[in-house]
Amino acid sequence: MSVWRINGTRVPFPQYWMSWAKKLVWLSLGLSMAGCTLGPIFSRPGSPNHADYSSAENPLATSTEAVAGRDGQSQRFVKGLDLPAQWWQLFRSPSLNELIEQALKNNNDLKAAQAALRLANENVKAQQGFFFPTVQAGVSPNRQRNAVGTLSPTLASGNAIYNLYTSQVAISYAPDVFGLNRRLVESLKAQAEFQSHLLQATYVTLTANVAQAAVQEASLRSQIQANESLIKIQKEQLSIFNQQLNLGAVSMNDIAAQEAQLAQTQALLPPLKQQLSIQRNLLTALSGQLPQDSIKQSFELNSLHLPDTLPVSLPSSLVDQRPDVRAAEATLHSATAQIGVAMANRLPQFSITAAAGGASTVFSQMFRADNVFWGIASSATQTLFDGRTLLHRKLAAEAAFEQAAAQYRSTVVGAFQNVADALRALEYDAQALKAQSEAEQATAKSLSFAQKGFELGSVSYLAVLNAQQAYQQSLIGVAQARASRYADSIALFQALGGGWWNNPELNRLEK
């Protein structure tokens, strides 16, 4: 075993090599840490300086109008009230709670978003590895015969056949002098943050979509029930007509007209049932199942409860709560770092390499003094001409930054618009329900009077048909208006960010 001296102390060669390698590593890390970082430094954009979601000329109401009847209660908007983590529980539907939990457990889009986040985090860790030297060790034994009759002997002994054992440790390192790797890591961290917010957005969208589909199913069931009730009324009326036909009180034209009216009402059922089937399939798919594994939950408007109090986040908090805004911000951050990457690529690139080992025909003598080899080298490379490729990559990075900045501002504007739209929709939904409820009451009276009048012979059959048509539309209108209040309440929760920040379950999903 060869020995070397460190500060006068005799040490074996491998230990000497490791001591020398450590010094090289620390020197390289020192050079990297002392380097500069090029490009703009990212800072989070400020929140819009607005106190409300509406203009002073057309302010939003603090509560909706109260309406008599089911789902007609006033909804109060409370500014600054935080969103609950599981906002869907405000609808007081055990079936909805159960289905959303099932969807959160089984939905494949959510699982894909989780995997994408893990992928992004692993890419960050992989890039961080370039902050450290790469150390490789190898052993290469081989046996060969030298053509001593033609070539000079390879070995000093002149033997033609010999074994050669070579072992080597190599270190390579690229000091991050101008911050190229630091900006790459920064960009990848921003991309991982983007995936984190994308997971949050997927979570919010999934819960909102399940709730909306459940409300749509309930609305369709109500509309189907309204049509079936009207069909029953029209069948009863047709039976009366047939009796009156035998008495000569009506003509065949009246019978035909009533049959046509009945057929038209019956024709409305298949499309409604088709839409109901589509909603059922959608709910099944959202819960991560195939159509043949139909969900057991079903929904009726009367089984839901309309929330009386609706939280309205402060405008200054909206940009922190909306996953799409935070994702756009992360994209902007990544674009900022990429400018630094493009700038660093135009400057000299440095590298340090070192290798040491031993070679011998006898394995145990590889590290004898005269069998040891080592080498150290460094390089600096500067691109002198590349057809302006690196320049245009820098300009492209700057353009990407401007694009990301514009997209961020657009996303913020869209977020405020979503909240304003939902608040305004809720305000008008109450008014629409009031109008539809009044129309239902009026048309129900009108139909009743028309039927009695027709039986007494004081009202024409045309008046009965018109009353039936109006009543049919009012029943459907009430069902749709009730459903709109639920749907727009869900839209408000989604527009405000969905309360993901209060849900520990989402923290588990992000890991």
pLDDT tens, position by position, 131-177: 999 999 999 999 988 888 777 777 777 888 888 899 999 999 999 99
Q: Tell me: the pLDDT tens digits for 182-191?
A: 999 999 999 9
Asked if 39 and 340 count as a contact pair (C-beta separation under 8 A), the reply is yes
pLDDT at 470: 86
* Residue 409 confidence (pLDDT): 95
Q: Which residue has the higher pLDDT, 304 or 509?
A: 304
Tens digit of each residue's pLDDT (9 = 90 or more) over 456-489? 878 877 788 778 878 888 888 999 999 999 999 9
Cβ-contact 250, 461 below 8 angstroms: yes
- The tokens of 53 are what? 């979601």
Among the ranges given (75-89, 242-256, 423-437), the one the predictor scored with the smallest mean pLDDT? 242-256
Residue 383's SS3 state is coil
Percent of the chain with pLDDT over 70: 92
- Please, what sign has the CA dihedral across residues 196, 200, 205, 210? positive
pLDDT band at 21 (very low <50, low <70, confident <90, very high): low
pLDDT computed for residue 482 by the predictor: 94
- Average pLDDT (242-260) is 79
Q: Please, are residues 114 and 298 in contact by the beta-carbon 8 Å criterion?
A: no
- Class of domain 13-42+134-175+348-381 (CATH, top level): mainly beta
The whole model's pTM is what?
0.85
Q: Rg of the chain's alpha carbons, rounded to an integer?
A: 38
Res 3: pLDDT: 47
CATH code linked to domain 71-132+178-223+313-347+388-511? 1.20.1600.10
**Sequence-ordered list of residues with C-beta below 8 angstroms from that of 240, at least 6 positions apart, any chain:** 455
User: Is residue 451 scored above 80 in pLDDT?
Assistant: yes
Tell me whether strands 309-312 and 76-79 are parallel, antiparallel or unpaired. Answer: parallel
Count of CA atoms in the C-beta half-sphere (13 A) of 322: 25
Confidence of residue 247 (pLDDT cuts 50, 70, 90): confident
Q: Which residues contact 228 (CB under 8 A, 6 or more apart)?
A: 269
Give me the residue spans of the domains in the chain: 13-42+134-175+348-381, 71-132+178-223+313-347+388-511
Locate 424 and state its tokens. Answer: 């305004």
Percent of the chain with pLDDT over 90: 60
The per-residue pLDDT for 214 is 97
Mean pLDDT of 50-79: 86
Chain centroid offset of residue 116 CA: 10
Higher pLDDT, 5 or 19: 19
Q: Answer whether residue 375 shows pLDDT above 80.
A: yes
pLDDT-derived band of residue 256, with 50, 70 and 90 as boundaries?
Answer: confident
With b for 16 or more beta-carbon neighbours within 10 A and e for fewer, the 372-401 pattern comes to beeeeeeeeeeeeeeeeeeeebbeebbebb
Instruction: Say if residue 95 is exposed, middle or buried (CB neighbours under 10 Å; 0-12, 13-18, 19+).
Output: middle
- Alpha-carbon distance values, 81 to 314, 315, 461, 491, 493 (Å): 8, 12, 56, 17, 12
Place of tokens 């839409």: 275
- pLDDT band of 7, cuts 50, 70, 90: very low
How much is the average pLDDT of 440-444?
A: 91
Would you say residue 340 has pLDDT above 60?
A: yes
User: Closest Cα partner for 264 from 238, 227, 223?
Assistant: 227
Position 6 scores a pLDDT of: 42
Beta-strand pair 9-12/3-6? antiparallel
Q: How far is CA 45 from CA 316, 326, 333, in A?
A: 12, 10, 10
